[in-house]
Amino acid sequence: MRIVAQRAASGSVSWEEAGARKVATIGPGLVLLVGAGPDDDETIVRRMADKLIDLRVFADDAGRMNLSLIDVKGEALIVSQFTLFADMSRGRRPSLLGAGDPKRAQELYEAFVARFRERGIRAQTGSFGAVMRVSIENDGPVTLVLSSDDWPTRV
């Protein structure tokens, strides 16, 4: 999995569905752009979700990044983004062949969202596979990139 996590004062995503405009919004929390790769599974999904939920990236009273999403009662805007697996090593057009199978990627994405909700986080989403507009009011800015490829073991 590859995830771009941004601490946000607010965020929103909008898309067209059945001729109507849909919008999902959050207040303070994390905006997460999430891509699933061909080797990802439910174990990876759970580890990545738990890592982000417990990550201390919010300021305490002393101004130090010492509080988690749970501590601040933050929200999460979770947006699918298969382009995180783009290969740009050749030519001028990114190759998207490195992304996971769309059906399996959707299952993993939905499991990722479900884990946030299981842990008590208000999680909003866009529509998997749709063309969306994402707005992020960055806080900091604090932007982190997580990749399961970088983890020492895939337990």
Q: Does the annotation mark 83 as catalytic?
A: yes
Catalytic site residue from 25, 43, 58, 82: 82
Reduce the secondary structure of the chain to three states and give it as a string.
CEEEEEEEEEEEEEEEECCEEEEEEECCEEEEEEECCCCCCHHHHHHHHHHHHHCCCEECCCCCEEECCCCCCCEEEEEECHHHHCECCCCCCCECCCCCCHHHHHHHHHHHHHHHHHCCCEEEECCCCCCCEEEEEEEEEEEEEEEHHHCCCCC
Q: Does the annotation mark 85 as catalytic?
A: no
Catalytic site residue from 6, 43, 58, 81: 81
Which residues are marked as active site?
81-83
